[in-house]
């Protein structure tokens, strides 16, 4: 057919109509990395978004925070950003099903955020594939009873069963809840657990927490049919590092439950497991929207940073080095330490001398160093906080490998 000027006009109009009805993101199949955020109310999240002039709200934190670490949360005009490459699915306990793109508002109550915000933005930066976060969390639930895993014996916790059911049903019906999905491979890529408050209710719950958590890790992997599923446990950090005078509940959590979580993670029968320290992000009530210790005083900064550290530990487990830029991880005999780092870091490798590039999260070189050794302390005081990648090179310029560095 000869394409005349008039025909070309109609063809272009039809193409535009098709693109409006079927955006490019729906035309091409996409692989999906699935991450589960499970636990009780602090995985739901109770960080208040507003009002702007109140200490500890997300709005106030973003207005007063000079760091660029969390600037992705807002658009340049100050509105809240929506992330196209990260989806969130949360069957809220109030009966409302939330299934949409990542943005603020997926917390336990309306107008709140949870760890999903920091976690989702960080993981979205590290995958070419679409990321799907499934939140399976309910307030006021213990591991000893409500989430009790099958291998612990006794009655299996109803919320354990509900958690597994929610995950499998979401994946099996993904095209219904996310109609933009178009048939790519679905990979259950990681599981985060942030829970513990209600196990402080009884000494018997505290004393069996370590064994229950070991069983939870094993049983979740078995029931999801992912034997080596990366598993991150957020330590129950309520109260921070200080044992609050007279608060026997928090004292029990800090002296019994947190060590139990660490022991379960370090259990030699498991691999691909890490714990994320959350006590660093405890902020007192007088710098927060409310006096609510069980919910981190409704401090949005706490929840944002908890989500971020859960994401960092997950990335560490996955060995993902900014796959959007096709970067690769380094051999085991290469070390970059300390990480996180404040003022400097060092690199160890078999070569006596080597070159080194520091890359930002987008793969851009921010600094190059020539002919250095393992004894060289690399000063990074001027770098902004965030994630960087250390590209170690032979003296001829060929790559030895890349390691991740977190700058505090």
Q: Is the pLDDT of residue 347 over 50?
A: yes
Please report which confidence band the pLDDT of residue 363 belongs to, taking 50, 70 and 90 as the band edges: low
Q: Is the pLDDT of residue 22 over 50?
A: no
Burial tier of 80 (Cβ tally within 10 Å: 0-12, 13-18, 19+) = middle
Q: Is the pLDDT of residue 324 over 90?
A: no
Map residue 192 onto helix, strand or coil: strand
In the predicted model, what is the mean pLDDT of residues 1-17?
A: 38
Q: Is the pLDDT of residue 25 over 50?
A: no
Q: Is the pLDDT of residue 242 over 80?
A: no
Fold classification of 335-407 (topology level)? Immunoglobulin-like (2.60.40)
Q: Is the pLDDT of residue 322 over 50?
A: no
pLDDT, one tens digit per residue, over 295-315 is 999 999 999 999 999 998 898
Q: Report pLDDT for 15.
A: 33
pLDDT, one tens digit per residue, over 69-114 is 687 888 989 899 999 999 999 998 888 999 999 999 999 999 999 9
What pTM does this model have? 0.76
pLDDT, one tens digit per residue, over 108-164 is 999 999 999 999 999 998 888 999 999 999 999 999 999 999 999 999 999 999 999
Q: Report pLDDT for 71.
A: 79
Q: Report pLDDT for 64.
A: 83
Token pair 């979580």: residue: 261
Q: Is the pLDDT of residue 402 over 90?
A: no
- Mean pLDDT for the chain overall: 86
Each domain of the chain, given as residue ranges in start order, spans 1-29, 31-320, 335-407
Q: Report pLDDT for 360.
A: 74
CA-CA-CA-CA torsion for 362, 363, 368, 369, nearest 10 degrees?
110
Is the separation of the CB atoms in 294 and 382 below 8 Å?
A: no
Please report which confidence band the pLDDT of residue 4 belongs to, taking 50, 70 and 90 as the band edges: very low
Q: Report pLDDT for 26.
A: 36
Q: Report pLDDT for 27.
A: 34
Q: Report pLDDT for 333.
A: 72
Q: Report pLDDT for 41.
A: 96
List the beta bridge partners of residue 405: 388
Using CA atoms, how far apart are residues 368 and 152, in angstroms rounded to an integer? Answer: 53
In the predicted model, what is the mean pLDDT of residues 14-24?
A: 38
Bigger pLDDT: 7 vs 202: 202
Bigger pLDDT: 2 vs 75: 75
Q: Give the residue among 110, 86, 95 at the shortest CA–CA distance from 37.
A: 86
Map residue 273 onto helix, strand or coil: strand
Please report which confidence band the pLDDT of residue 182 belongs to, taking 50, 70 and 90 as the band edges: confident
Tell me how far CA of residue 123 lies from CA of 7, 129, 177, 370, 387, in angstroms. 46, 10, 21, 32, 12
Please give the structure tokens belonging to residue 143.
């591991």
Is the separation of the CB atoms in 270 and 228 below 8 Å?
A: no
Q: Which CATH number fits domain 31-320: 2.40.37.10, 3.40.50.1110, 3.90.930.60, 3.40.50.10470?
A: 3.40.50.1110
In the predicted model, what is the mean pLDDT of residues 34-57?
A: 96
Bigger pLDDT: 323 vs 162: 162
Q: Is the pLDDT of residue 16 over 80?
A: no
């Amino acid at each position: 057919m000869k394409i005349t000027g008039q025909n070309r006009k109609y063809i272009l109009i039809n193409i535009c109509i098709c693109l409006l009805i079927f955006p490019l993101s729906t035309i091409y199949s996409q692989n999906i990395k699935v991450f589960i955020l499970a636990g009780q109310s602090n995985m739901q999240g109770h960080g208040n978004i507003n009002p702007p002039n109140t200490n500890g709200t997300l709005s106030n934190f973003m207005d007063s925070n000079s760091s660029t670490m969390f600037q992705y949360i807002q658009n340049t005009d100050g509105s809240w950003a929506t992330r196209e490459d990260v989806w969130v699915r949360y069957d809220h306990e109030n009966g409302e099903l939330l299934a949409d793109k990542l943005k603020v508002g997926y917390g336990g109550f309306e107008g709140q955020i949870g760890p999903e915000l920091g976690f989702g933005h960080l993981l979205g930066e590290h995958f070419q594939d679409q990321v799907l976060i499934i939140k399976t969390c309910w307030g006021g639930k213990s591991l000893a009873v409500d989430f009790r895993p099958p291998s612990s014996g006794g009655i299996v916790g109803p919320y354990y069963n509900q958690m597994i059911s929610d995950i499998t049903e979401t994946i099996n019906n993904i095209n219904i809840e996310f109609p933009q999905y178009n048939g790519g491979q679905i990979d259950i890529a990681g599981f985060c657990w942030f829970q513990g408050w209600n196990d402080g209710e009884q000494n018997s719950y505290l004393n069996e927490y370590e064994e229950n958590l070991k069983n939870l890790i094993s049983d979740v992997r078995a029931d999801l049919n992912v034997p080596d599923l990366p598993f991150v446990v957020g330590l129950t950090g309520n109260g921070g590092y200080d044992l609050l005078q007279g608060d026997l509940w928090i004292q029990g959590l800090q002296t019994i439950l947190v060590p139990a979580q660490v022991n379960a993670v370090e259990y030699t029968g498991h691999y691909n497991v890490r714990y994320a320290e959350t006590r660093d992000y405890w902020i007192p009530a007088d710098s927060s929207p409310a006096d609510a210790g069980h919910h981190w005083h409704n401090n949005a900064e706490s929840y944002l940073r908890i989500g971020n550290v859960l994401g960092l530990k997950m990335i560490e487990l996955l060995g993902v080095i900014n796959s959007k830029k096709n970067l690769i991880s380094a051999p085991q005999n290469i070390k970059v330490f300390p990480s996180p780092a404040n003022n400097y870091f060092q690199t160890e490798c078999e070569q006596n001398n080597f070159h080194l590039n520091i890359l930002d999260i987008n793969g851009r070189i921010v600094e190059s160093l020539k002919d250095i050794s393992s004894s060289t302390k690399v000063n990074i005081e001027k770098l902004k906080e965030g994630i960087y990648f250390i590209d170690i090179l032979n003296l001829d310029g060929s790559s030895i490998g890349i390691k991740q560095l977190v700058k505090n």
